[in-house]
Amino acid sequence: MRTFSDRVLSIQPTGVRKMFDLAGDDVISFGLGEPDFQPPNIAIEAFYQAMKDGHNKYTTTAGLPALRQQIAESWSAYQDGLNSDNVCITMSGTNAILNLFLTLVNPGDNVLIPEPYFPLYGPDAKLCGGDAKYYPCRFEDEFVPKVEKLEQLIDENTVAILYNFPSNPTGGTLNLEQRDALLDFAKKHDLWIITDEVYDRIVFEGEHVSFMGTGYDKVLLINSFSKTFAMTGWRLGYVMSTNLDAMKQVIKMQYYMTACSNDAMQYGVLTAMQEASDFPDIVSAEFKQRCDLIVGRLNKMDGVECHKPKGAIYVFPKVEVEGMNSEEIALELLKDGVLCSPGSAFGSAGEGHLRFAYTISQKDISRGMDKVEATLKRLRNKED
Ligand SMILES: Cc1ncc(COP(=O)(O)O)c(C=O)c1O
């Protein structure tokens, strides 16, 4: 008997959620990529005021024109001439990803996707009848893909490549030379670039390197207010492109997904962008300190090797314990009161790693690292 669609049966819950669901309340949680700050107060007040002012209605599908214009202007250092027509507000980055896959992918097409990956990409490609072809981002290469590898994977059904820098889960970032090599690859094969840059404002060294402003008109950018303004629960993000034909299709698709995005909240975000524009920098400075702390601690542990990320809110160290895979290690850590994600939750290329989201206070990071150190010692039977 037919029960549910093949589509829904073909996707599984993510490994990140699986660990999270097993955890009790008293764990030190490095589990979710959710900033532990309140959004700017002024934004909360603007949101409340907007509701009182009657902004409790449908908006135009593409979103509040003033917010779209503000977003366009916020990218002027990267790209001249952007305006509200280049932006479609979505109900989160998550929503923006599905929109782009639905807009670009036909059944039988495939999309090149980084591995280790943000766990939604592959299933989203599948939901559109497409396939994910995973390209490796290796520890040895500081999690930046090699063009030779991309060349080996591409075929006549490849329609797009997804880039995610700064990366979840690896914290990998690009320099200009690396960006240009990845851009040239996409241009050479006439691929759409879906560039997920939700961590663009959480960068610790130099400027964020974007695929916007490269002059290639097949770039579609995904962004979100979840991380930069600590608004994960507000569910607002956007798609942006210089390609107005593409934007027309994206906006049409958005209508069929959500009709429009949250009305009053868009006023809250607009106020955040206008009046708390330094908030992301303050948050980023705190994340940098946490990053230094956690990397320092991890690199002092036996069998652990960790790059120092230049962005995002994660570390993705190699963690070796003889005879144990990453899920088994993560389960042992959980028993001892630390929640993290096994690298395998981000694809087979993540095996041998653990992901720690440093979205807790420096004090809790230190307490958590004490526990990790003790657990790893125990697992190696090295306890004195
Ligand atoms: C790389 C990446 N893209 C997109 C998202 C989605 O963010 P949101 O749906 O909260 O906007 C996340 C969230 O963790 C992420 O890490």
Peptide bond before residue 114 is cis, with ω within 30 degrees of 0: no
Same domain for 321 and 247: no
Same domain for 202 and 61: yes
Tell me the best of 168, 173, 225, 262 to mutate to test the pocket of ligand 1, counting ligand atoms within 8 Å of each CB and taking the most: 168
Q: Phi first, then psi: what are they for 115, rounded to 5°? A: -135, 125
Same domain for 173 and 70: yes
Same domain for 306 and 176: no
The CATH code of the domain that includes 176 is: 3.40.640.10
111 vs 161, 236, 245, 250, CA distance in Å? 6, 25, 20, 17
Same domain for 229 and 103: yes
- For residue 192, list its beta bridge partners: 160
Same domain for 16 and 160: no
In a domain, 43, yes or no: no
Cα gap 97→86, rounded to integer Å:
17
Give pLDDT < 70 ranges for the chain. 382-384
The three-state secondary structure class of 316 is coil
* pLDDT at position 383: 47
Same domain for 114 and 237: yes
Residue minimizing CA distance to atom 8 of ligand 1: 93
* pLDDT at position 23: 81
Tell me the best of 227, 239, 313 to mutate to test the pocket of ligand 1, counting ligand atoms within 8 Å of each CB and taking the most: 227
Residue with the two structure tokens 């819950």: 13
Same domain for 361 and 220: no
Last residue of a domain, one of 229, 247, 275: 275
* pLDDT at position 81: 95
Same domain for 162 and 70: yes
The token pair that represents 69 in the structure block = 């214009």
* pLDDT at position 382: 57
* pLDDT at position 22: 82
The three-state secondary structure class of 56 is coil
Its pTM stands at 0.96
Same domain for 255 and 163: yes
Same domain for 147 and 128: yes
Show the ligand 1 pocket: residues with CB < 6 angstroms.
33, 92-94, 118, 164, 168, 196, 198, 224, 226, 232, 237
* pLDDT at position 18: 78
* pLDDT at position 1: 78
In a domain, 49, yes or no: no
Number of domains within the chain: 2
Structural domain harbouring 96: 56-275
